[in-house]
Amino acid sequence: MTPIRVLLADDHAVVRKGIREFLEEDGEITVVAEASDGVEAVRFAGEHAPDVAVLDIQMPRMTGIEATRQIKAAYPGVRVLILTAYDDDPYVFALLRAGADGYLLKNADSDALVRAVKTTAAGGKVLDPDITAKVMAQMTGGKPSAAQDQVEPLSDRELDVLRLAGRGLTNKQIGQELDISDRTVQGHLANIYGKLAVSSRTEAVTRALKLGWIVLDSP
């Protein structure tokens, strides 16, 4: 039997090592690549053609949500299983909209993880029981707000960038304020636009103001 080829993406090497050991102990799964951030995850998905990409959410340079979007768009044959400690509604629904095939919490036992990888590789869908409860609540009209209204939270640095953009600063000025490059500012803005489903800084600032995430007189 051909082993299931897996790509692991997590910014903690110790965590990746543990996951690899759990998976490869099964004998039917092999880890073909390990990524330490979302950008590497997307690149390795193309280079190694895994059957399943196991992604964390919070990673440097690119979140697991954006990595999921890009992997599903560029390599639709790659299944994506999210393995994370986060069960917050905005993350859950943002990832499901991005095309994730499974969502498992890191407190799951090793057997559950192996089953999730195998089910996902076979074309099935996997949801952690706690996540299933959230999805069912949405489907039955429960609270919190409808899934389409869920917005992926911005990181602290992204909020800093957006606050300064709201004060009218250019990318260069924002970079000087935060001691980062213009290109990094541009990258943060691109991530912000994706998370807020907008196409300009004006729309992004307006949306963040409505959500109560920033105020125009922020220092």
Instruction: Calculate mean pLDDT across residues 2-23.
Output: 93
pLDDT digit string (tens) for 34-77?
A: 999 989 999 999 999 999 999 998 887 788 888 898 899 999 99
pLDDT at 10 (0 to 100): 94
41 vs 206, more confident:
41
pLDDT at 139 over 80: no
| Architecture of the domain spanning 4-139 | 3-Layer(aba) Sandwich (3.40)
pLDDT of residue 198: 78
Is residue 79 a contact partner of residue 99, using CB atoms and an 8 Å limit?
no
Is there a contact between 71 and 42 (Cβ–Cβ < 8 Å)?
A: yes
**CATH topology classification for 154-211:** Arc Repressor Mutant, subunit A (1.10.10)
| 139-174 burial: b if 16+ Cβ within 10 Å, else e | eeeeeeeebeebbbbbeeebbbbbbbbbbebebeeb
Percentage of the chain exceeding pLDDT 90:
40
Phi, psi of 53 (to 5 degrees): -105, 120
Question: Structural domain boundaries of the chain?
Answer: 4-139, 154-211
Residue 219: pLDDT band with limits 50, 70, 90: very low
Q: Are 189 and 204 in contact (CB under 8 A)?
A: yes
H or E stretch at 30? strand 29-35
Is pLDDT larger for residue 100 or for residue 199? Answer: 100
Q: Which residues of 117-132 are buried (b: 16+ CB within 10 A; e: fewer)?
A: bbbbbeeeebbbeebe
